[in-house]
Structure 1
Amino acid sequence: MINLITIAFTTANALFALASVVCAIISVKQTRKQTDIMFKQLEESKKPNFPVTQRLESISNGLYNISNSINGLNNK
């Protein structure tokens, strides 16, 4: 009877260990997928955003023109 209980507990422990290993493998795969997604997002964020860049240049030019106008008024 004790042998049967020992075998049952050993089998249960082995199954739980196997489940833990399977969960660890799945976790590693998910981590790799998430890392790949993050690298893709990082690469995408490094690409220039031309509409925003053009708008900022337009604002910069406008401010430069305003500054020149103010300097022109101060010099009179």
Structure 2
Amino acid sequence: MTNSDLEEKHARNRELRRAEIRRWAEYVRTNPDDDWGEQVNKLVDSQLASARHHEHERPDIDQLRESSLLDE
């Protein structure tokens, strides 16, 4: 993949994200808080559950600092 191809892909992805944000903003404006609020709560709860599940797999911040100092 050339630099030009990669830049085009990034631009396309950026526009897709912006379009999705516009759709979500329109949905929030035109629907009751209880409808979209429940969806957001489910998303946040699932993200928290995932983070807690994988917490033991995260490297310790002190280990990261030590390894980065060794690389210098």
TM-score of the alignment, normalized to the shorter chain, above 0.5? no
- Normalised by the length of structure 1, the TM-score is 0.40
Q: Comparing both chains, which one has the higher relative contact order based on Cα–Cα distances under 8 Å and sequence gaps of 6 or more?
A: 2
**TM-score, normalization: structure 2?**
0.43
Q: Which structure: larger Rg?
A: 1
Higher helix share: 1
